[in-house]
Amino acid sequence: MKKMLNNVKTLFVTCRQFGDTGKGKIVDASADWADLIARGNGGDNAGHTMCNTRGKLVTHLVPSGILYDEFKKINLICSGTVIYPKTLLHELEELTQRGFSYNNLRIAFNAKLITPAEVALDRIRESSSGKGKIGSTGKGIGPAYADVVDRQGLLINDLLNPDIFYIKLKRHLEYKQKILKNYPAQLVQEVLFQEHLNFGQYFHAHDIFDVDAIFEQYIKYGIELKPLISDTDSFIRASLGKLNILAEGAQGDLLSIKYGTYPYVTSSDCTVAGLAEGIGLTKNDVDLSLGIIKGFYMTRVGGGPFPTELGGQVSDDWCNGGKSNRKIETEIYSQASINDADNEFLQGVALRRFGDEYGATTGRPRRVGWLDLPLLRYVMTFNKPDIVLTKLDVLNNFKTIKICHEYVYEGPPIYYAGKFIENGSVLQVAIPDAAILSYCRPSYTSFSGWQCDLSGCTDFASLPKELKFILEFVVEETGILPRAISIGADREETIYL
């Protein structure tokens, strides 16, 4: 890692897939080098799992550098993020209980505030959407970003000015109330009594939202957060070229509001450009940007097209069904095997279990599928080539590994960006529009897997020949430049190339 970071002052770590590719491990490996670690997009929809000698920690908002509190790393939650204070304060409380200090944490005064009305709207909309829903995390992310653009949003700094806050909040809630009056009153009430919304603390029988109750609670949050609130944009600009800056992405390129599989995306721009803007910099300030992908498989949480999904629609229904979870899955599908080529759904269950592919934020089973080169080629059109492949150990002992090398479009004729796509068209590069992607049938190249454990591998030469062969194929087909391969959860289980 040290060699790779020679002459680098600003490092970005973002995901080139649908999130959950193990950014945390690479961020952790670079944390020694970093002076400053910044989050710049998304909110508590993200879940970052980190392990080091002090144990395992899952954070949703606080940057991973917090694990290195004894080295006084500066952690920033920057202006591009959306913050639900309840989650943030809960996270800070947990850090204190676990013996971590957050003295070096700063929160952007101009980060966006998530209100109970935004959380409620997200959940109510999702419950009413039926098939084809986005499958959001229910944290209010979409409504919060929408309100920013609609000029109805509130900022973290508003918490520090009670009089102004009250006026803005009242206007914000009145606006939301009008929208929520269109939904069944019982559903609205049920949602407002959920734990994430403080069990009805904000509910008003007539007005839906109790302005005073929300105001009082949020002002209390403001008092607690005040010592941490500052101008992170200016700080990070002043640090450019002086401190080692590590920007930690959330979600992934394919979930980006700008470049993802729209409309099945999150509401922030998760790409390098979006993250740069979210921390107060530009794309040109980035010295090295590492894109993370899973080694030869992929996952997706929530709704949206996923051409290589093992088990297709059956898997989608199961993972988004709400009833499925790890325990149930283990009981019902105890016989699932990755080498059961006759049942792709069960192959998927087995892969999910091996890879521990259950959401860090929602606990939902992640949909799993083979590596999709048309999607990878697509993200490489707007990224630098440097890639880290993670979780390769998950595929140990697979008899066959399949890679999707192209799609055949099998849908109604459609115009896209000046091109006519008809039934039978072959696509080498994915078109991210969900209306097209959902009709793309993957064509696969099959490879023999490696029938061994990767734990003994210490360098590229010691990797099994089957793995190297597949990697060469992916490199040739997509032009990626592999910089590291992760073969286990521990920091040492990383091979730098």
| Contacts with ligand IMP, residue ranges (CB under 6 A) | 18-20, 45-47, 134-137, 139, 141-142, 250-251, 255, 266-267, 301-303
Pairwise CA distance, residues 22 & 51, whole Å: 11
Q: Smallest distance, Å, CB 128 to ligand IMP?
A: 15
- Report whether 362 contacts 324 (CB < 8 A): no
- Residue with Cβ nearer ligand IMP (20 or 372): 20
Q: How far is the CB of 303 from ligand IMP (least distance, A)?
A: 6
Residue whose CB is less far from ligand IMP, 250 or 427: 250
Based on CB atoms, which residue is closest to ligand IMP, 305 or 449? Answer: 305
14 contacts 23 by C-beta, under 8 angstroms: yes
- Pairwise CA distance, residues 98 & 83, whole Å: 22
Shortest Cβ 139–ligand IMP spacing (Å): 5
The span from the CA of 81 to the CA of 62, in Å, is: 11
- 434 vs 485 by CB, closer to ligand IMP: 434
Q: Which residue is nearest to ligand IMP (CB)?
A: 302
Helix 211-225 vs helix 85-97: angle between axes, to the nearest 10 degrees?
40
What is the rounded distance in angstroms from the CA atom of residue 53 to the CA atom of residue 56?
Answer: 8
- Shortest spacing between CB 406 and ligand IMP, in angstroms: 25
Catalytic: which of 28, 44, 48, 253? 48
Decide whether 29 or 250 has the Cβ nearer to ligand IMP: 250
Helix (H) or strand (E) holding 28: helix 23-31
* Shortest distance in whole angstroms from residue 371 CB to ligand IMP: 17
* Pick 150 or 216: Cβ nearer ligand IMP: 150
Query: What is the closest distance, in whole angstroms, from the C-beta atom of residue 332 to ligand IMP in the complex?
Result: 23
Catalogue the long-range contacts made by 436-441 (C-beta closer than 8 Å, 24 or more residues apart).
436/409, 436/411, 437/261, 437/305, 437/307, 438/305, 438/411, 439/409, 439/410, 439/411, 439/412, 440/305, 440/307, 440/374, 440/407, 440/408, 440/409, 440/410, 441/307, 441/407, 441/408, 441/409, 441/410
Note if 269 is an active site residue.
no
Q: What pairing do the DSSP bridges indicate for beta strands 112-113 and 154-155?
A: antiparallel
Least distance from C-beta 308 to ligand IMP, angstroms? 17
Of the listed 20, 69, 233, 372, which one is catalytic?
A: 20
Q: Which of 363, 374, 322, 365 is nearest to 345 (CA)?
A: 365
Note if 48 is an active site residue. Answer: yes
Cβ nearer to ligand IMP, comparing 225 with 270:
270
User: In 302-424, at which residue ranges do the beta strands (DSSP E only) sit?
Assistant: 367-372, 386-390, 400-409, 414-416, 419-421
User: How many helices and strands in the chain, by DSSP H and E?
Assistant: 15, 24
**Residue among 259, 175, 249 nearest 11 (CA):** 249
Which residues are identified as catalytic? 20, 48
